[in-house]
Amino acid sequence: MDAKHTKRNNERGIALFMAIFALMLLSAIAAGFMYLANTETAVNANYRAGQQAYFAARAGLQEGRLRITKGSAAGDLYAQANALTMPTAAATTGGIYILNPAAGEAAAVPWDSTNQYFDDTICKANFPGLNIAYGTQNTRCTPAQAPTAAWYTTVNSNSLNTGTASALSYKWVRITLKANRSGSPLTTAAAPLDYPYQVDSSVGANNNRMVCWDGTQQVILPAGQVDCKTPLAGGTVMNPVFLITSLSRLASGSERTLSIEVADDPPFYNNSAVNSQDHVTLNGALTVDGYDACSCSCAWNNAKPSVYVCSNKPGKTCLADKYAIYSNSNVDALTGKSESATAGTSPIIAENQAKVTDVAALINRYKSQPGTVDATQAPYNYTCSPGCGQHSGQTFGIPPLFPADGSAPSDPPANDPSLGAQQTQVTYVPGDLKITAGSIGNGILIVDGDLDINGGLQFFGLILVKGVVKFSGGGANKTNIFGSVLAGKSSVDDTVLGGSAAIHYDQCALQSNGNPAPPRMISSREIEY
């Protein structure tokens, strides 16, 4: 009995020890949960702040993009942006900074290396005219890489809350032209230097030339060409590519720097008065003229045989490099009686040629533009199932005054007193369309099917048809088109030109087509140093 009692005495307090151990274990688990909870809270807060900074920077990019939009109320910087030159230390036309301070905050000074909002990405844009060392991948620009001259101009943000406590956290937006190596930081300093994202790596010593947008791809400014918008003789009309960069920083320190490349699509210039991807049938009283009605003054002289003579309009050089008809198939021979085709090219009519335009892609480009009018909606309310029926007296925009003698509208085009002020419009018809009486238009008429014009049409701009076009005549009204006609391929019928139609190539009419829309966003990226 004494031995058992002694053993029990030796075990006295074990329950207390186990309880304390369990309490310590639970406390450790609780502390771990608290730590994890705090960590999760911090991670979520950091993520939220990062997202706020990211979308604020996106907002800055969109302000820059909207303010260089041609023809819009917001496009107050369009002219200034299109007057930009490649950045140099000798001029203030190299860039634009849009500044967006919060309440009680001095405007950012992105060109000052001692400022908290210093533009530490400018060296990565590779502008040799600023006389700074090129940026290196994964490295911020240093104060030594800050431009020393005022190569920019500044404007204030027009954001609704700028200068208030509710101001978005983007501090500045930079707008410049794009150069070949812009956005391509140096990755290998040893010769040859490695800039992996050049637009064109084959241009040698001139590899920092301006970058242009031809509507399909980015290309280097051709040698000898002054800017993107002024092509060399026979060159392609293009638009400059803009590099827009935005810095956003929150009070917590979260920071994001984003960049986009944007450009306006150039006007569509056809290579002929009529471009058809199918056989072309000629009949009726038909005139097709490839001379540019905007820059050429043309008339038949009185010699026998009569000769078509064109000269420069005042202040212009007559554009004579467009065909009358360009076809991927055959074109009927002219009879010499009621059909006339004129152009400065040889041959005047080009048959069995390679396709130069993707009609389907062009239709998709224009029909998706902001402001395009779908003919199934008001005021047309066409029912298309799949054809869109027969319609008369249609108005697809208000054209300028068409002189009674059949000559081209003046430049700048005058208003037609009977119609009122001119109005361009992009109209999309999602199926076959037949026009049976006098109609008018200005801009772009897109027919996602076949188009039959029977009864007259006065149109200034581009007629773009997925299928075939028929000018079948009828009625007292003549068809007059200044601009160009582009018809796609169809296995059902031929493109038929006739019906008392006069079709004149007119670059002024094509240049004015389209709706005001923000520049196309070509690419976007986040600059992660």
Identify whether residues 210 and 292 lie together within a single domain: no
CA distances from 45 to 39, 252, 368 (A): 10, 10, 39
Percent of the chain at pLDDT exceeding 90? 43
CA distances from 448 to 271, 367, 492, 495 (A): 21, 10, 15, 15
- Whether residue 15 has pLDDT greater than 80: no
Residue 204 DSSP label: G
Identify whether residues 70 and 109 lie together within a single domain: yes
Identify whether residues 139 and 243 lie together within a single domain: yes
Does residue 518 belong to any structural domain of this protein? no
Phi, psi of 140 (to 5 degrees): -70, 150
Computed over every residue of the chain, the mean pLDDT equals 86
- Whether residue 139 has pLDDT greater than 90: no
Identify whether residues 122 and 257 lie together within a single domain: yes
pLDDT given at position 82: 93
- Whether residue 5 has pLDDT greater than 60: no
- Rounded CA-CA distance 343/73 in Å is 40
Does residue 141 belong to any structural domain of this protein? yes
- Whether residue 350 has pLDDT greater than 70: yes
Identify whether residues 373 and 283 lie together within a single domain: yes
Identify whether residues 362 and 502 lie together within a single domain: yes
Cis amide leading into 305 (omega within 30):
yes
Containing domain of residue 276, as a range? 272-511
Query: For 257-302, what is each residue's pLDDT tens digit?
Result: 999 999 998 888 889 999 998 888 887 778 899 999 999 999 888 7
- Whether residue 324 has pLDDT greater than 90: yes
Please say which residue of 267, 299, 326 terminates a domain: 267
Does residue 522 belong to any structural domain of this protein? no
Reported confidence tier of residue 134, pLDDT bands at 50, 70, 90: confident
- Rounded CA-CA distance 393/412 in Å is 26
Residue in the structure block whose two tokens are 């702040």: 49
Phi, psi of 63 (to 5 degrees): -65, -45
Identify whether residues 224 and 372 lie together within a single domain: no
Reported confidence tier of residue 148, pLDDT bands at 50, 70, 90: confident
Reported confidence tier of residue 156, pLDDT bands at 50, 70, 90: very high
* 455 token code pair: 């009864």
pLDDT given at position 60: 96
Identify whether residues 235 and 320 lie together within a single domain: no
| Contact criterion met (CB below 8 Å) for 446 and 429 | yes
pLDDT given at position 514: 66
Identify whether residues 68 and 193 lie together within a single domain: yes
CA distances from 388 to 56, 307, 429, 486 (A): 45, 43, 7, 20
Does residue 295 belong to any structural domain of this protein? yes
Over range 448-462, report the average pLDDT: 90
Query: Longest C-alpha distance within the chain, in Å?
Result: 149
CA distances from 517 to 70, 363, 379 (A): 7, 16, 22
Query: For 414-447, what is each residue's pLDDT tens digit?
Result: 999 999 999 999 999 999 999 988 899 999 999 9
- Rounded CA-CA distance 177/170 in Å is 21
Does residue 463 belong to any structural domain of this protein? yes
- Whether residue 381 has pLDDT greater than 80: yes
Reported confidence tier of residue 20, pLDDT bands at 50, 70, 90: confident
Query: For 61-113, what is each residue's pLDDT tens digit?
Result: 999 999 999 877 778 999 999 999 999 988 899 999 999 998 888 888 898 88
Percent of the chain that is helix, strand, coil (3-state, to 5): 20, 30, 55
pLDDT given at position 25: 83
Among 235, 241, 183, residue whose Cα is nearest residue 212: 241
- Whether residue 455 has pLDDT greater than 90: no
Does residue 154 belong to any structural domain of this protein? yes
Please say which residue of 267, 288, 313 terminates a domain: 267
- Whether residue 492 has pLDDT greater than 70: no
Identify whether residues 260 and 127 lie together within a single domain: yes
Partners of 179 in beta bridges: 210
Identify whether residues 257 and 315 lie together within a single domain: no
Does residue 527 belong to any structural domain of this protein? no
pLDDT given at position 515: 67
Over range 351-358, report the average pLDDT: 87
Identify whether residues 245 and 327 lie together within a single domain: no
Partners of 485 in beta bridges: 274, 463
Please say which residue of 267, 299, 318 terminates a domain: 267
Total domains present in the chain? 2
